[in-house]
Chains A and B, each alone.
Chain A
Amino acid sequence: GESVGLHLPTLSVQEGDNSIINCAYSNSASDYFIWYKQESGKGPQFIIDIRSNMDKRQGQRVTVLLNKTVKHLSLQIAATQPGDSAVYFCAEKDAGGTSYGKLTFGQGTILTVHP
């Protein structure tokens, strides 16, 4: 029979604009959150992380915001470049998890940057 594929959320921006990618999580026991970037045909690449005792963390051109009240995570990319085009995944770790490497990934958001 015919299969129906999932459609990932997409975000299209112009080069130089700021991008904001959002993620909702459901596990109130999660105590650690991460953003990964995955380019086509490649494995995910770590971008930035944040622990649950923080609400903001900044890296180089990226900022992660955590709102535990509404279980929301966002990734802000400043001055977006064509090389930022990829699928972005948020991931979380349960406080009772066996390892920081045991992560629950979200569905992903496709970011396309137009020159």
Chain B
Amino acid sequence: EAGVAQSPRYKIIEKRQSVAFWCNPISGHATLYWYQQILGQGPKLLIQFQNNGVVDDSQLPKDRFSAERLKGVDSTLKIQPAKLEDSAVYLCASSLGLYNEQFFGPGTRLTVL
């Protein structure tokens, strides 16, 4: 069974530029999560989807971050414009349902200069 796929693996941009990350969850998983992990910290949940609906986006900085999950499968997370403090690893995870075991992708390491 294929795992959670993410791309790109690394991205370097300058502040005020925009960037987008892509995630393909495990087939059949209805729930998809985006996390931000700053060095030395645990992941912070940014947004959680159930199929193509948003379950929780309370910690998503909506003035600059946006995410969508069209057709309830793949998802993209966008940052526009990026700030220095957005430098982090962005992790995508999926699970069968809202309360099931989460499986993570390898992450995208973002560096904002």
Q: Do A and B come from one complex?
A: no
CB within 8 Å of A: which residues of B? none
Chain A interface (Cβ < 8 Å from any Cβ of B): none
